């Protein structure tokens, strides 16, 4: 996977074989961008406009991130449990338990519109009547957004369901509004495994505030998977003097080697419950939820759900973190070791069981 993409999921990382292209034309000056006296792009200059007077959204944009882990990991991070249909919540938890081995990304299939817009780089190519969006993400087709006045059919069942749906756009003053429908039910809205159904509709609003900043908002409305529509916001920043790199997924041949998580007996999981001290001012509280562990770490509040990889090692459901529980000679759990990105942190278990 190329340098622009961060690690995504344990299954995808271990078994993916992604072939990046050579980095041609990196740092080649992008034409038409205002420059400061030192030659650097002036990202606060007024937004450019097309010959028709519309804001020109063209450029390479980096997705914004919110919190420790972005919406690409969990689109429902701000929702309450009752905002998600029970079957969708159950399916998402099962996908986490299976280490996302059947995710589209792990299977070399296209990822979703939310994933593409809240992670990595994309390039907008704006023309009269049509906007094309290219993505630096493995095995993801481009999006075509028609701005020539055509409308989506009132009955979206007339559309042949696709991974990225069908999109039309119109301008509301300086804001581009994109309406999309006609999605299939195979896509995952995020890395965590929230499902999408054929009833999904997505509305996006884009406004180029200046040369270097694109205000971005997405409303997800899928009544079969969620009990109400919800809106996500994360602005994008321009990446001038750069190009998208080719990113090819070639791990389908390894798909048979993807494995699920383990299900441990409740009495084994109960041995890990308690409070662990990393140091002054930081502790982690471990609790059992079904066949998974909930770890409330004050330094990583968004990283809570962990799935068993072995009897003592658990993997995060939203990051590349793992925790390992260490026992003494008597078989009593005395420490928890958290590992992520080559960094290892050890927490001592408090004497009193919680």
pLDDT tens readout for residues 49-74: 999 999 999 999 999 877 667 899 89
CA distances from 301 to 41, 90, 298 (A): 36, 22, 6
Instruction: Give dist(CA 145, CA 149) in Å, integer.
Output: 11
Residue 98 has pLDDT above 60, yes or no: yes
Instruction: Give dist(CA 172, CA 58) in Å, integer.
Output: 18
Which of these, 240, 241, 188, lies nearest to 72 by C-alpha position?
Answer: 188
Out of 131-140, 169-178, 198-207, pick the least confident: 131-140
Specify the pLDDT at position 24: 62
Greatest mean pLDDT range, 23-27, 34-38, 255-259: 34-38
pTM, full prediction: 0.79
> Token match 């309406």: residue?
179
pLDDT band at 45 (very low <50, low <70, confident <90, very high): very high
54 burial type by CB count under 10 A (0-12 exposed, 13-18 middle, 19+ buried): middle
Instruction: Give dist(CA 30, CA 26) in Å, integer.
Output: 10
Phi, psi of 313 (to 5 degrees): -115, 130
Specify the pLDDT at position 270: 93
Residue 107 has pLDDT above 90, yes or no: no
> Token match 């998974």: residue?
292
Which has more confidence, 349 or 94?
349
| % of the chain beyond a pLDDT of 70 | 88
The model's pLDDT over 263-276, given as tens digits with 9 standing for 90+, comes to 888 889 999 999 99
Phi, psi of 158 (to 5 degrees): -70, -20
> Token match 């020539």: residue?
148
Which has more confidence, 102 or 34?
34
Kindly report the average pLDDT of the chain as a whole number.
Answer: 87
Which of these, 8, 27, 26, 28, lies nearest to 18 by C-alpha position?
Answer: 8
Domains of the chain: 10-255 (2.40.128.20), 266-349 (2.40.128)
Residue 295 has pLDDT above 90, yes or no: yes
Contact 202, 219 (CB under 8 A): yes
């Amino acid at each position: 996977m190329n340098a622009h993409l961060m690690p995504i999921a344990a299954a995808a990382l271990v078994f993916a074989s992604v072939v990046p292209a050579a980095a041609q034309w990196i740092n080649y000056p992008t034409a038409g961008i205002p420059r400061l006296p030192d030659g650097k792009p002036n990202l606060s200059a007024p937004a450019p406009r097309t010959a028709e007077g519309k804001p020109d959204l063209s450029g390479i944009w980096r997705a914004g991130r919110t919190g420790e882990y972005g919406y690409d990991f969990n689109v429902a991070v701000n929702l309450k449990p009752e905002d998600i249909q029970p079957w969708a919540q159950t399916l998402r938890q099962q996908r986490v338990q299976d280490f996302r081995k059947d995710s589209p990304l792990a299977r070399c299939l296209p990822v979703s519109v939310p994933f593409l817009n809240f992670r990595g780089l994309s390039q907008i190519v704006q023309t009269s009547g049509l906007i094309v969006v290219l993505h630096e993400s493995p095995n993801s087709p481009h999006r075509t957004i028609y701005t020539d006045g055509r409308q989506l059919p009132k009955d979206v069942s007339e559309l042949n369901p696709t991974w990225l749906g069908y999109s039309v756009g119109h301008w509301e003053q300086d804001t581009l509004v994109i309406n999309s429908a006609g999605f299939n039910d195979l896509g995952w809205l995020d890395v965590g495994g929230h499902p999408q159904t054929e009833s999904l509709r997505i509305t996006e609003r884009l406004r180029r505030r200046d040369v270097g900043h694109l205000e971005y908002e997405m409303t997800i409305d899928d009544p079969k998977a969620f009990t109400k529509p919800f809106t996500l916001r994360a602005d994008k920043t321009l990446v001038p003097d750069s190009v998208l790199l080719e990113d090819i997924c070639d791990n389908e041949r390894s798909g048979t080697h993807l494995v699920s998580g383990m299900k441990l007996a409740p009495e084994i999981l109960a041995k890990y419950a308690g409070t662990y001290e990393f140091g002054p001012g930081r502790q982690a509280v471990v609790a059992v939820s079904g066949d998974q562990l909930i770890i409330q770490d004050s330094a990583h509040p968004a990283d809570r759900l962990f799935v068993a990889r072995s009897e003592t090692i658990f993997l995060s459901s939203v990051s590349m973190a793992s925790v390992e529980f260490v026992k003494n000679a008597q078989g009593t759990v005395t420490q928890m070791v958290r590992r992520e990105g080559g960094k290892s942190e050890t927490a001592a278990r408090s004497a009193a069981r919680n």
